[in-house]
Amino acid sequence: MSDPQAGQIVYKANHVIEDVVIDAQTGYLYWTAYDAGFIAKLRITSDVNRTHDVIVSSLTSPRALVIDVISRYVNLNAC
């Protein structure tokens, strides 16, 4: 994955990335690793040594992601 406007690589994966979603509010990039069977996230920062966190694993060919920003606000207001 790269940022063509900035001309830099954001993350170099060793798996097939099927879908990518950016949550601009939290600064995270989420993606599905189709062949590896997981969903991961990466904080978008200027740090060169970025590492990702696997947030869901043991999936069978994950293909798509959606960020539910409405529920995020409802859940925050309920706390």
Q: How far apart are CA 24 and CA 21, in angstroms?
A: 9
Task: Provide the residue ranges of all domains of the chain, joining segments of one domain with +.
Answer: 2-78
Q: What is the CATH number of domain 2-78?
A: 2.40.10
Query: How confident is the prediction along the chain (79 residues), in pLDDT tens digits per residue?
Result: 545 555 566 667 778 888 999 888 888 889 999 899 999 998 887 666 677 899 999 999 999 888 887 776 654 444 4
Helix (H, G, I), strand (E, B) or coil at 4: coil
> Quick count: other Cβ atoms within 10 Å of Cβ 28?
18
Per-residue model confidence (pLDDT) at position 79: 41
